[in-house]
Amino acid sequence: MRVPRLLALLSLVLLTGCVGSPLHNATHPDRQFYEKDGHHIVVLKQPDHWAAWYDGKKLFYFVPNLNELKPIQVEAIEHVSGCKVMDARHFANGQPAYLMAHVICPDGTTL
Average pLDDT score over the chain: 87
- For the chain, give the secondary structure using H, E and C: CHHHHHHHHHHHHHHHCCCCCHHHHHHCCCCEEEEECCEEEEEEECCCCEEEEECCCCCCCCCCCHHHHHHHHHHHHHHHHCCEEEEEEECCCCCCCCEEEEEECCCCCEC
pLDDT tens for 73-85 read 999 999 999 999 9
Looking at residue 21, what is its pLDDT? 84
